[in-house]
Structure 1
Amino acid sequence: MSTPLAESKIKGSLFGGAIGDALGGPIEPWSGDPDRIENSFGTRRIETLVDYLPDGPHWYFRGSPKGTYTDDTILKNIVCQAIADSHGRIGAREFARAYCKYMRREYFTREPGQLWPGEAVVWFKLYFHITNQPYDQLLSEMPDARDMGQGNLPACDAAMMIPPVGLINAGDPRQASMDAVDVSSVLQSGVSATAPGALAAAVAAAMVPGAGIDEVLEAGVRHSDERTAARIRAAVELAGAATDADDFRRRFHDKMLLGLADALELVPATFGILALTRGDYRRSVVEGANFRRDSDTIAAMAGSVAGALHGLDVLPVEWVESVRAANPDQPALDDLAAGILAALRQEQMRGKRQLGLLDELLEPGSGSREGSDE
């Protein structure tokens, strides 16, 4: 029995993003130090999945096997669960309910103090505050879900989890962007909440049968806030002028880095990599993982878009199997994909009902029949 194209694209996006996350995860805090990477992994570039070092830089996942993904995919899984639970599109309230239901308290309470000295501990406590504060407030039945991200630090948490919002809005990048901003408001505010709309729009455009990378990139620009759109255009221009991936990275780092590696930096970087690689899956995730700064997030976001564009079949089988095997304490990505596919079918049924209603409303003469005594 043949499977629908949507299933391949959904799995391509979910596994594609998780693989990118797992590629960049083992080196993320070292991604700006290729000498250290070479000393630890025997190469200056990570081009395949590797184990996390027992004494490596990513304290939360030390000693984990290759294919283990990080917080990027953990948060994204909750978005998938929200979509499945809601049987369709989601907004802030639907995501907030799933966040309280599925997020694990230990995610916030792992103590880096024994592993990270001084400033690093402060940074990680600030980082977890971004995701912990809304969690505690929602459990306490504090203000509306849309208010939870107010005052949070600029970051990329919302952007890195948002691709499934594009999947459930397949072919409708405008709606994907609007839903993404609403969902993002649970964790972030300002441009950290609006920039994810560009990524969701790109994924929605990538779900269109026969779509090309140019249509995907343009959808992200067209359906994003002005600041994000301008920075995406700038990143794509830098990619077009670059001689290779290393040259693009240098140009981007010279001209476009921000104080924090937040969504306004990482979303444009992702679009630049997709432009540079023309959406090629393997190249997108490998270059993302080696882009430095928040490399696992860039690789995960690029992989989510490229995976949706091309489908599951372009992903290396051994990488897919590694991800399946390495995350036993997380929801199975195949099951999450099935949940999104079922929700997409529900959206299809709702769409047909809506079209039928519009046909009836817009039929010539329908107004004269309304309220008729005959």
Structure 2
Amino acid sequence: MTSLLEEKAVGALVGSAVGDAIGGAVEGWTPEAIRERHGGWVTGIVGPWYDEWRTARPIAPYHKGDGHITDDTLMTHALVEVYDERRTHLDAYAVAESLVPKMVSGPRWVPELETEALLLQRVFLAEKWLVARLHYGHVDPREAGVGNIVNCGAAMYMAPVGIANAGDPAGAYAEAVDVAGAHQSSYGREAAGVFAAAVAAAMVPGVTAAAVVETAVGLAKDGTRRAVEAVAEAASGVTDWEQAIPLLRKAIAPYDTVGPDYRDQSLDARRPSRTKAIEELPVALGFVLVAEGDVRRAVLGGTNYGRDADSIASMAGAIAGALNGSSGVPQDWAEDVATASRTDLVRPGQVMASVAADLHASDARRWAHRTEVLETLTR
């Protein structure tokens, strides 16, 4: 690595990818079912839940497990490509003009399909919404997220926004909320902003996990803020991720619309609300606290929590990876996931470090101009 910025940017995106790949193998299941299936807690890369994964339900036809990244990482890397091409801060229009075309053209390797395919062919229905609304519907990008189910779909790929705004959590929050407006509304959009802010805060040299969560709470609004506060309180004093699993689930339950049975969601699931929150981000922040910022423990906590395990472990891995840098991400995990997924996990972080440096330079010029103008106006 050529700089601490690059070290942390790579750590964030590699940490995110390994969390995604490890958590993806047990997505949708309970902690009890996970332990029964694997003969104890998952402690690293495991195989698919069903041996006959192509025809098994409810996760066919994706080859989850075996170190394969999921749509969380595929969307993250696509957003990195947009930043690399534009070299500017992004907004909802960038999603319509640059990200959506990447979803519908140019096949890329999709590990879970074991073939090259369009990104559109892998993402969940809530992400296909982007194509339906923006590519076919020509909806105003700033409003296109309204009407979509409210989930973690936009938040799951916002780590690059945090890196682009390294050291400026408020700027990351604002940019992510704008970008996510093309995809999500309500607490799904809010979570995207808070997650990006947490990554931006974690990029600060010497910052602690507790300080990152405090920053997230300070920027979060409505139910998302209260959910993060509740989970942080439940995590207080707990350093064992196994012990933390039921505590964090109990803390998030009042704010989670999905309900206790992840595969049989409540009638209020995914509806807009000012009092609710997605489950994934607060729980991910909780595991970062419990793990004291350690990547391995944060990812294992998010994985064995079950439910939307890939997104929880991915978000936890991104924040902890930014805290520690690439050297803090277990190298055996990083190498095995990269090999299994046939994907360069390091290059996206290097690209985002370069983008962040360019954006800092352009921001500095902009603020220098504003300072000059204000000094003239106030003489």
Instruction: With the length of structure 1 as denominator, give the TM-score of the two structures.
Output: 0.84
| Contact kept? 1:155, 1:192, Cα under 8 Å | yes
Deviating beyond 3 angstroms after TM superposition, the runs of 4 or more aligned structure 1 residues are: 33-39, 104-107, 241-244, 366-369
Change (3 A) 1:368 1:153: closer
Q: What letter corresponds to residue 6 of structure 1 in structure 2?
A: L
Q: Which amino acid aligns with 1:245?
A: W
Distance (whole Å) between structure 1 residues aligned to residue 338 and residue 324 of structure 2: 20
Deviation track 1:155-175 (CA, whole Å, cap 9, x = no partner) reads 111111111110000000001
Distance of aligned partners of 1:281 and 1:65 in 2 relative to their CA distance in 1, 3 Å threshold:
closer
Structure 1 unmatched runs, 5+: 111-124, 370-374
Q: Does 1:85 align with 2:85?
A: yes
**What is the alpha-carbon root mean square deviation over aligned residues?**
2.6
Match of 1:285 in 2: 299
**2:26 aligned counterpart, secondary structure:** helix
For 1:346, what is the secondary structure of its paired residue?
A: helix
Measured in 1, the distance between the counterparts of 2:219 and 2:22 equals 29
Q: In 1, are the aligned partners of 2:100 and 2:134 still within 8 Å (CA)? A: yes
Following superposition, the deviation at residue 243 of structure 1 comes to: 7.3
Specify whether residues 27 and 105 from structure 1 end up closer, same or farther in structure 2 by C-alpha distance, changes over 3 A only: farther
Q: After superposition, where does 1:8-87 map in structure 2 within 5 Å?
A: 8-30=7-29, 32=30, 34-35=32-33, 37-39=35-37, 41=38, 43-52=39-48, 53-56=50-53, 58-62=59-63, 66-87=66-87
Distance 1:44 1:184 in 2: 38
For 1:145, what is the secondary structure of its paired residue? coil
**For residue 101 of structure 1, what is the aligned residue in structure 2?**
101
Q: Distance in 1 between matches of 2:230 and 2:33?
A: 30
The one of 252, 276, 279 equivalent to 1:265 is 279
Query: Which residue type is aligned with residue 60 of structure 2?
Result: W
% identical aligned pairs: 32
* Structure 2 CA distance for aligned equivalents of residues 150 and 287 of structure 1: 32
Once residues 322 and 247 of structure 1 are traced to their aligned partners in structure 2, the CA distance between those partners, rounded to angstroms, is 28
How far apart, CA to CA, are the structure 2 residues paired with 1:102 and 1:173? 27
The Cα of 1:367 is off from its aligned counterpart by 5.0
Q: Does 1:172 align with 2:168?
A: yes
User: Secondary structure of the equivalent of 1:18?
Assistant: helix
Indicate conservation of the 8 Å contact 1:82/1:98, yes or no.
Answer: yes
CA deviation after TM superposition for structure 1 residue 307, in Å:
0.3
- In structure 2, do the counterparts of structure 1 residues 169 and 24 end up closer, same or farther at CA, with 3 Å as the change threshold? same
Asked if the contact 1:46/1:289 (under 8 Å) is kept, the reply is yes
User: Contact 1:23–1:67 (CA<8 Å) still a contact in 2?
Assistant: yes
Higher helix share: 1
Q: Distance in 1 between matches of 2:210 and 2:140?
A: 38
In the alignment, which residue of structure 2 is the partner of 1:346? 358
**Contact 1:87–1:342 (Cα < 8 Å) also in 2:** no
Deviations 1:288-335 (A, max 9, x none): 10012111110000000000111000111111111221223x6x3333
Task: Using the TM superposition, give the Cα deviation of residue 13 of structure 1 relative to its aligned residue in structure 2, in angstroms.
Answer: 0.6
- Provide the C-alpha distance between the structure 2 equivalents of 1:206 and 1:159, rounded to a whole number of angstroms: 16
- Tell me how far apart the structure 2 counterparts of residues 149 and 26 of structure 1 sit (CA, whole Å): 29
Aligned counterpart for 2:347 among listed residues 328, 335, 339: 335
CA distance in structure 2 between the aligned counterparts of 1:189 and 1:200, rounded to whole angstroms: 16
AA paired with 2:86?
Answer: S
1:211 matches 2:207: yes
The amino acid across from 1:336 in the alignment is: P
Counterpart in the other structure of 1:316: 330
Q: Are 1:158 and 2:154 counterparts? A: yes
- Hey, what's the Cα distance between the residues in 2 that align with 1:183 and 1:6? 23
Structure of greater Rg: 1
8 A Cα contact 1:27 1:58, kept in partner: no
**In the aligned structure 1, how far is the partner of 2:281 from the partner of 2:230?**
12
Q: Equivalents in 1 of 2:27, 2:170: separation in Å?
A: 32
Task: Give the conservation status (yes or no) of the 8 Å contact 1:324–1:333.
Answer: yes
The superposition leaves residues 126-168 of structure 1 with CA deviations (integer Å, 9 ceiling, x where unpaired) of: x933111221232225111122211111211111111111000
Inter-partner Cα distance in structure 1 for 2:152 and 2:354: 28
1:244 Cα deviation from its structure 2 partner: 3.6
> 1:113: which partner in 2?
none
